[in-house]
Amino acid sequence: MDFKALIEKMTVREKVLQLLQLEPTFFAAVEDEFNTGPKRRWQLSDADIASTGTVINFSGASKLHGFQDDYMRKNPYGLPLMTMLDVIHGYRTVYPIPLGLAASWDMDIVRDCTAMAAKEASYDGIQLTFAPMVDLVRDARWGRVAESPGEDPLLCSDFARASVEGFQGDLGEGKLAACVKHYAAYGAAEAGRDYNTTDMSERTLREFYLPAYKAAIDAGATTVMSSFNAFNGVPSSGNKLLMKDILRDEWGFDGVTVSDYAAMWELIPHGVAADEKEAAYLSMEAGMDLEMMTVTYARHLEALIEEGKIDLKQLDEAVLRILKLKEKMNLYENPYHFADEKKVEEVTLCKQHRDLARRAAEACAVLLKNDGALPLNKRKCKIALIGPNANTGNMLGCWSGKGKDEETVTVLQGIKNLIGEGRVGYAQGCEIGLTTTDESMIPAAVDLAKTAETVVLCIGEHKWDTGESSSRMDITLTDVQLKLFDEIYKVNDNIVVVLFAGRPMDLRKIKDRARAILCMWWPGTEAGNATANLLFGEVVPSGKITMSFPWAVGQCPIYYNRFNTGRPRSDDWKRCSCQSAYIDGPNSPLYPFGYGLSYTTFEYSDLKLSADKMERGGVIKAGVKVKNTGDYKAKEVVQLYIRDLVGSVVRPIKELKGYQKIELDKGEEKLVEFTINEDMLAFYGADMTRKAEEGKFRVFIGTNSDVKEYLEFELL
C-alpha cells in the first residue's frame, strides 16, 4: 500500500482518529446506554468512530467478519480495524500465571504455551495481545507480581524473548502481534502499591529494569505499552527519556507505542498536565501513538497542530507506524487475519492444549518443603482433601483471558482421576478471600481429618487478591485459613499444604508444622491433574522460584542480587549492632531466588574453571558435576552466578549469568558446563558506560542463589 499517498489524502482528523483505541461497544450500530454515554460525552461522531484505528477487548470469530466489514464499509479509505486483547497466560486453555511459568526455567515451555495461546486467540479474531508483561519485581505486596517473570533481569529477558517468539512467530496464521509492557519499571511501584510512583537511578533502570523490555523488542515485539507510573517524576506516557531517547533513539524501536488504559489522560491527576490538551501535547512530544480509551488526542491534537505546537509530521509518523503494523499483520489483504470459527472449535481446549497446560503447571510447581511426606502412595493412602482451593475451578489466576472456571480441573477431580473415588474425602473448611472470617465449616473439616492418613490442605489466596489493583500490606494467609490449619493439626499432624497464590506469601505460621509445601501458583485449566500428578509422584517437582519469598513482609522489597553494604550482616539469626540488619528477624528471605526442592536429591561436586585469568575478549569455562543421589529420575535447574568483587560502583553479591535445566536418572551424574565471556561481566560503571572492569570475580554454580562454594578468576 502507498502509505505516503494515503496519509496525504487523509484529513488531519482522520489521522488523529487512527491513533484512538476504543472498546467494541463504541462501534455498535445500536444506540445502547454505553454508546450514548461516553461516546456522547466524548463528542465522538459516527464519522469519528468510522475512522478510529483500533479496538480493544474485542473477541469472537463469529462476530469479526460482520464487525470488520461494517467498519471497513464506513471507513473513508476502507482501512481495517486492528483487534487487541490481553492474552497473558492463555486464552481459553489457561496455563500458569507468568510468575509460575517462569519458575519452570524452561523457555521451550514458555514458547509453546504462548504459541498455544496465540493460536486459540487469533482464530477467535484477536490480532494483538497486550503481552508479555516483563516488569521486574521485588516486592510481593504488589498484586501484579503474578504477571511478572520475577526479580532477575536475565530470566525476565529470556522469558520476554521466548514469549514474543511464541506469540508472534511469523505473524501469520495462528499468531498474534506482541505488545511488551509496562514500559517502564512499573514493577518498582513504591511500597508495592499499584500505580504508585517509581524513582531510581539510571544505573538501576538499565542494570535491572530495562533488559527484559529490550529483549522483547530485539525479539521483534511490534508494540510497546507505556506504564501508569511516574518514572523519576515524569509519567511514562509523557516521559521523553523513556519513550524517545531510549526506546526510539537508542534502541531504534520503530514500532507502535500504546498507552495503558487511560494512562495518557492520567497525566492530569499525576499533575504534569493541567488539562487534556496539555496531556495530548506531552504524549505526542514523548512519541505516544495509540491512545487507549481516552480522547486527549481526538479532542486536542488538531488544535495543537493548528497552533503550531505539534508538527503535522509527528502525527503523520504516528499514523504511518499504525498503518505499517496493520500491514505487518497483512490486514489489508486479509482483514480477518485467519479468524475461523471452525478452527476455534478444533483447537480450543483440545487435548494437545490441555496436555501442554498440564505439563506447564507440573514444570513450574515449586516444592518448598518436604520431610518425606511426598510423594503420596498412590495405591494405599487415604486422603482428606481440605481447603477453599481444593474443589474449585477458581484456579486460573488474574488476567486469565477467556478461561472459564467450569472448564478447569479441580484438585479434587484431579485426584479422583488418578486414584479413583474411594480413598479421598473432601471438606472445604473455609472460604477464601481477605474479608472472610466464617469458621463454621472448620469442624466438619476436622472430623474428616481425623479419619484420614494424610491431609492435603489447599490454601493460599483468592485469584482476585492478586493482579491489577490488588496490592496488600500483609502477605500472610488469612486468619480463618490459619485457624483451619491449627484445628486440623490438633487431630492430624500429617499435613501436606498445596499453595495456590499469585505472589510469594509469608508462610512462617505454617512452614514448621506442615510436612510438605507445594506451591502451584495459579496453575490454570489443568490445575487438578497437574497437582495430583505431582502429589503422587507421577511427575517430580522441578520448579524454582523466580522471586524471593520474604520471611516477613517487612523485608520487602527483597531480592537476591542485592549489594553488600559497608556493614554486611555477620549472622542472620543474631542481633547484630551497627550492621545492616533487622533486630527482629533475618535479612535472608524464607526461600531464596532459584530455590525449589525435588523428590530426589542432587549432589554438586568438582567445581572447576578452565583458567584463573581471563584476557579481554577471552572466555573461561566453568564446570560442575551434578549427581542424582536419590530415588527418582528428576530435573534440576543448575544455576551459574557471578560476583564482581570490586567495581567503580557497588556490585551485587551475586548475579545470575546462566542456567541449564537438566534431567538425571537415579544415580546418574553429568558434567554441566557454562562459558563465561567478557560481556557477562559488563555493567554501567561510575561513568555510566557499560563495560567489564578488570579485577577478581567469583563463580558459583548451584541449586539456588544461596550457593556458597565458589572459585575465583581475574579479568586482566
Min separation Cβ 55 and ligand GLC, Å: 12
Q: Which residue number, 132 or 211, has a Cβ lying nearer to ligand GLC?
A: 132
Min separation Cβ 262 and ligand GLC, Å: 8
Q: Which residue number, 181 or 358, has a Cβ lying nearer to ligand GLC?
A: 181
Q: Quick one: cell of 161?
A: 524473548
Q: Give the C-alpha separation, 697 to 677, whole Å.
A: 12
Is beta strand 128-129 parallel, antiparallel or unpaired with respect to 82-85? parallel
Q: Which residue number, 42 or 195, has a Cβ lying nearer to ligand GLC?
A: 195
Q: Give the C-alpha separation, 261 to 273, whole Å.
A: 17
The alpha carbon of 244 is separated from its chain's Cα centroid by a whole number of angstroms, namely 25
Q: Which residue number, 43 or 469, has a Cβ lying nearer to ligand GLC?
A: 469
Q: Which residue number, 247 or 449, has a Cβ lying nearer to ligand GLC?
A: 247
CB of 506 closer than 8 Å to CB of 475: yes
CB of 386 closer than 8 Å to CB of 428: yes
Q: Which residue number, 468 or 673, has a Cβ lying nearer to ligand GLC?
A: 468
Q: Which of 106, 135, 158, 260 is catalytic?
A: 260
Is the link from the previous residue into 462 a cis peptide, with omega within 30 of 0?
A: no
Min separation Cβ 415 and ligand GLC, Å: 35
Would you mind telling me the total number of residues written for the chain in this entry? Answer: 716
Min separation Cβ 130 and ligand GLC, Å: 3
Query: Hey, is 366 helix, strand or coil?
Result: strand
Query: Hey, is 343 helix, strand or coil?
Result: helix
Min separation Cβ 575 and ligand GLC, Å: 42
Residues within the interface to ligand GLC (CB under 6 A): 86, 130, 181, 260-261, 468
Q: Which residue number, 208 or 261, has a Cβ lying nearer to ligand GLC?
A: 261
Q: Give the C-alpha separation, 518 to 689, whole Å.
A: 44
Other Cβ atoms closer than 10 A to 423:
16
Burial of 32 (0-12, 13-18, 19+ CB in 10 A): exposed
Q: Which residue number, 294 or 348, has a Cβ lying nearer to ligand GLC?
A: 294
CB of 375 closer than 8 Å to CB of 535: yes
- Indicate if 405 belongs to the active site: no
Q: Give the C-alpha separation, 473 to 246, whole Å.
A: 34
Min separation Cβ 401 and ligand GLC, Å: 11
Other Cβ atoms closer than 10 A to 9:
11
- Nearest-CB residue to ligand GLC? 130
Q: Give the C-alpha separation, 497 to 429, whole Å.
A: 14
Min separation Cβ 112 and ligand GLC, Å: 23
Q: Quick one: cell of 81?
A: 480495524
The residue among 568, 684, 663, 671 whose CA lies nearest residue 622 is 671
CA distances (Å), origin 549, targets 96, 150, 369: 18, 11, 13
Min separation Cβ 256 and ligand GLC, Å: 14
Which amino acid type is present at position 575?
Answer: R
CB of 374 closer than 8 Å to CB of 516: yes
Active site residues: 260
